[in-house]
Structure 1
Amino acid sequence: MTMTHHNRLAWNKKVKDQAAYTKPVSEDIVEKAKRGDWQITMTTTKMVPREWFPASLEGVKVLCLASGGGQQGPILAAAGADVVVVDISEGQLEQDKYVANRDRLSIETIQGDMTDLHFLENETFDLIVHPVSNLFVENILPVWKEAFRVLKPKGTLISGFTNPLLFIFDEEEELKGNLVVKHSVPSSSLTGLTDKEVETYLKSQDTVEFAHTLEDQIQGQMDAGFVIAGFYEDYFGGNRPLDRFINTFMVTKAVKLKDN
């Protein structure tokens, strides 16, 4: 079983378990968005600055990349955008379909891998929103290249990702309040495990996460052809001891200014 297939099943399980990132937005939030009162988050608490978006989303073609769950897509569709949601998990996409049916929104959903968008034409979208999700693929460089390809010239990519510092600590100890350095970066949830431990982990149906370097996250976007035009940080939400010391989420605004 590939890690992509494993994480697809793991995210389907998260939907059944009603995990935080699988809960669709409320009718009230959608109605406000229809009236022009809207905002979205790429991380946990901070909202993306409105100046990062066009003044009006009417007719703007938006790709919500690895962004199922009925959250960003419905809000942007309600605000007037022409939205396509791509996600590896059919369970997550069902959340977007649910909100679209409930609130009479037009949203196209496509089950697909963020590293291979062959089903999308070149220079199709004005805007891509890509919340924290690339930690679920081993190699993120194809994600940036595919995003660049499907964006129109001067299009914008808004991406959330994890500070790799989060991954160097022993998670069990960190949750107890003890910051014990255990892992290197890059690495994954399976790094350092015995074959038996890997088998047990995979049977648990937890997602396999990959710790990527900041070079791959930021320089990787620039190598794909983007210019970084905005940046901010967010914390985990207050439920991790590390939150007392450093923000562990980052968000970039990248613009396609040239062919690559």
Structure 2
Amino acid sequence: MTEEVKEWWELTARWFQDDIDLDVGVNWTGMSADNDLRLLLDVAGKDVLELGCGGGQCSVALAERGANVTGIDLSTEQLAFARDLSDERDTDVAFRQGDVTDLGMFDDDSFDVAFNAYVFQWVEDLAACFREAHRVLRSGGRFVFSMPHPVYGLADPESHEIEESYFDTGRQVTPQDDLDVDMVTYRHSVADVHNALVGAGFRVERMLEPGSADPDDYEEGPWGEHRPELLAKLPSTLIFEGRAA
């Protein structure tokens, strides 16, 4: 991750956590822990790594399920929130500061499971991240993650008309009127993600696009970015399951 991404999170972590107010759980869709989907299966006794743990809601949830959890994040502010949450819930999670594209602090074959929810839009070099995830996973280890679906953000939330190109991948800058630092994210096509996984040595076992055609099945996000009528037309979340060879 770049320094500008880190700077963004150091400035906004507390505001973000207050506004999003996530429940403890694995928030695959980025909106609520209700849609857990049980993708990680039984993690009791497993060594689990969360890549980009943010406020720790997912890490704490898995620790409560009996996993031995390590969470890594770029932001000291996010990690401070995560440690406070872990203390409040009386869980034992090892939180470490670091970049998901360089997991040199961990030995090869250290974990049974690696995962994250809604992190990889902040990562420019997915290939490096996936190679590192594969390295620290034991043979047969599972890698599960969700991210914003690249098609959802292309449509205008009011008109539903496509306003951006799916092929305009890479660095995306969203100006912030009330901050000195703009929000920088990275758009990856579905093919980019899939091919980076295969190139890192993973066997892709499943890809999911959770959603419903009924607008009543959705609620708006905390900042109005999740529009029920649009969510009923386009997937907002992309999930991959892979296994280390």
Q: TM-score, structure 2 length as denominator? A: 0.82
Residues 1:243 and 2:231 aligned together? yes
What runs of 5+ residues in structure 2 fail to find an aligned partner? 212-217, 221-225
Aligned length, in residue pairs? 230
Other-structure match for 1:35: none
Distance 2:20 2:107 in 1: 28
Aligned CA distance change for structure 1 residues 123 and 130 (closer, same or farther; 3 Å): same
Secondary structure of the equivalent of 1:242? helix
Q: CA deviation at 1:24?
A: 5.7
Moved more, 177-186 or 243-252: 177-186
Other-structure match for 2:61: 75
Residues 1:11 and 2:9 aligned together? yes
Deviations 1:4-55 (Å, cap 9, x if unpaired)? 2221121223322144786464xxx6xxxxxxxxx5222235634336423x
Q: TM-score, structure 1 length as denominator? A: 0.78
Other-structure match for 1:137: 123
Other-structure match for 1:214: 190
Give the structure with the larger helix fraction.
1
Distance 1:9 1:204 in 2: 10
Distance 1:21 1:85 in 2: 22
CA contact (8 A) 2:152 2:234 kept: no
Other-structure match for 2:223: none
Secondary structure of the equivalent of 1:164? coil
Counting only pairs closer than 5 Å after superposition, residues 41-190 of structure 1 correspond to structure 2 as 41-43=27-29, 44-45=31-32, 47-50=35-38, 52-54=40-42, 57-169=43-155, 174-183=156-165, 184-190=167-173
Other-structure match for 1:225: 201
What runs of 5+ residues in structure 1 fail to find an aligned partner? 30-38, 192-197
Aligned CA distance change for structure 1 residues 24 and 179 (closer, same or farther; 3 Å): closer
Q: CA deviation at 1:255?
A: 0.9
Distance 1:65 1:151 in 2: 12
Deviations 1:150-169 (Å, cap 9, x if unpaired)? 00111101111222223434
Bigger radius of gyration: 1
Distance 1:161 1:224 in 2: 18
CA contact (8 A) 1:23 1:95 kept: no
CA contact (8 A) 2:56 2:71 kept: no
Identity %: 22
CA contact (8 A) 2:160 2:230 kept: no
Q: CA deviation at 1:243?
A: 1.4
AA partner of residue 234 (structure 2): I
AA partner of residue 137 (structure 1): V
